[in-house]
Amino acid sequence: MPQRSGATAVAAALCSLALFAAAAPASAARRGGDRPDHNTVVGALAATAVSPATANSRPPGAHTDPDRPCSPGADRSAHPRPVVLIHGTAENAYDNWNVMAPALANAGYCVYAINYGATGPLTALGAKATGRIEDSAKELAAYVDRVLRTTGAREVDLVGHSQGAGPMPRQYLKFEGGAAKVHRLIGLAPDNHGTTVSGLGAVLKAVAPVTDAVLGPAALEQVAGSRFLARLNEGGDTLPGVKYTVVVTTYDKVVTPYTSGFLAAPADDPAAVTNLTLQDVCPGDSSGHVALAYSPNAVNLTLDALDPAHRSTWTCKAVLAVPPLP
């Protein structure tokens, strides 16, 4: 029994396909209060694709406006650091965090969820995080500064999915001064060392102008071997003072190989990084890349990582994606 404690731009196309698929319900245990509007990633994706207004709205339990004070239910004495949720490529705060945000809020966290990187034609379907990752990192820097000013906190914790779990926040940590303002980075299915996109990476590079025009600059930046990733990872994966947790899934077909998400800990601080494979903890969870943030087991692992000194006992839930999402 375990303790409780954002993707290449190609995901844009995959997420669009997912609108017509079905996913097994996966909701985290909650104490009441904030509840998700959608318990499955498919329902949330469909809602934001149908309504641009929904794509810009806040997920239950979180603020998208960094100037809004913490919700009354936040326990700042137990959880002094606000949590900033960072969605993945071709996603948005609403469809990425409908389950995670209320689960964190009901655990007493002060929760914010950024929308960023809204460029290109896919924004009409609610797909954000397609712009240059360097520019998105600057957006995150400004957002975190406003959250800190609003809450009076000295640091935040970051929880991300896909691009928002690895390349973008790590760009912020390394090049935008974020390391001094972040205590933990918890990444769900990141592509920290790039992805082959199940073999499609070479095709995307071969038609680079089309890739940029349709999927946005973030696509090629996340393909294995990109100049962006070489610069990001030069000199090591981590920065002093930040604790990192990575959760990957063997069912990932967007970040391939899925082990690309793992980070190497510095030799002088091996405890700075925790790399987890979801199926090593919960073998009955077949959540893929798109649905990982909706897995109750991934939510519990996130709660583990946010407050490792106060873990509660939890039991794995079986999660069967039918049909399986990428």
d(CA 5, CA 300): 6
15 part of a folded domain: yes
Q: Would you place residue 5 in the very low, low, confident or very high pLDDT band (cuts 50, 70, 90)? A: very low
pLDDT (0 to 100) of residue 16: 35
- Paired with 219 in beta bridges are none
pLDDT (0 to 100) of residue 33: 64
318 part of a folded domain: no
The 3-state DSSP class for residue 3 equals: strand
324 part of a folded domain: no
For 209-236, how does the pLDDT look when each residue is reduced to its tens digit (9 = 90+)?
767 777 889 999 999 999 999 999 999 9
Q: Residue range 260-268: average pLDDT?
A: 97
pLDDT (0 to 100) of residue 287: 97
Q: 83: which 2 tokens?
A: 């949590």
Full DSSP string of 157-203? EEEEEGGGGTHHHHHHHHHSSGGGTEEEEEEES--TT-B-GGGTHHH
pLDDT (0 to 100) of residue 120: 83
pLDDT (0 to 100) of residue 121: 84
Residue 261: φ, ψ to 5°: -75, -20
Contact present, 26 and 295 (Cβ < 8 Å): yes
Q: Would you place residue 186 in the very low, low, confident or very high pLDDT band (cuts 50, 70, 90)? A: very high
d(CA 268, CA 156): 24
Q: Residue range 4-12: average pLDDT?
A: 38
Task: Indicate the helix (H) or strand (E) that contains 86.
Answer: strand 83-86
pLDDT (0 to 100) of residue 32: 46
pLDDT (0 to 100) of residue 214: 75
275 part of a folded domain: yes
Q: Would you place residue 65 in the very low, low, confident or very high pLDDT band (cuts 50, 70, 90)? A: very high
d(CA 195, CA 109): 32
266 part of a folded domain: yes
d(CA 301, CA 100): 11
pLDDT (0 to 100) of residue 281: 98
Work out the mean pLDDT of the chain and round it to a whole number: 89
- Strand 83-86's sheet: what is its strand order? 111-114, 83-86, 156-161, 182-188, 243-248, 273-277
pLDDT (0 to 100) of residue 215: 81
Q: Residue range 288-296: average pLDDT?
A: 96
Residue 3 scores a pLDDT above 90: no
pLDDT (0 to 100) of residue 199: 80
Residue 29 scores a pLDDT above 80: no
For 115, which DSSP code?
-
Domain that holds residue 54: 11-310
55 part of a folded domain: yes
Burial class (CB in 10 A: 0-12, 13-18, 19+), 249: buried
Alpha helices in 51-132 (DSSP H): 52-55, 93-96, 100-106
Residue 4 scores a pLDDT above 50: no
pLDDT (0 to 100) of residue 8: 38
| Listed residue (89, 106, 91) closest to 54, CA to CA | 91
Q: Residue range 281-294: average pLDDT?
A: 97
Residue of higher predicted confidence among 7 and 49: 49
Residue that the structure tokens 């996603």 belong to: 91
CATH number at residue 97: 3.40.50.1820
d(CA 171, CA 134): 7
- Cα–Cα distance list, 138 to 161, 165, 178, 192 (Å): 18, 16, 10, 18
Return the amino acid letter for 91.
Answer: E
Residue 227: how many other CB atoms lie within 10 Å: 9
Residue 91 scores a pLDDT above 90: yes
pLDDT (0 to 100) of residue 22: 29
Cα pseudo-dihedral 227, 183, 31, 22, rounded to 10:
10
Q: Residue range 142-164: average pLDDT?
A: 98
pLDDT (0 to 100) of residue 325: 84
Residue that the structure tokens 């601080």 belong to: 269
Residue of higher predicted confidence among 111 and 20: 111
278 part of a folded domain: yes
For 120-148, how does the pLDDT look when each residue is reduced to its tens digit (9 = 90+)?
888 888 999 999 999 999 999 999 999 99
Number of domains into which the chain is organized: 1
pLDDT (0 to 100) of residue 153: 98
d(CA 31, CA 314): 14
5 part of a folded domain: no
- Paired with 187 in beta bridges are 160, 246
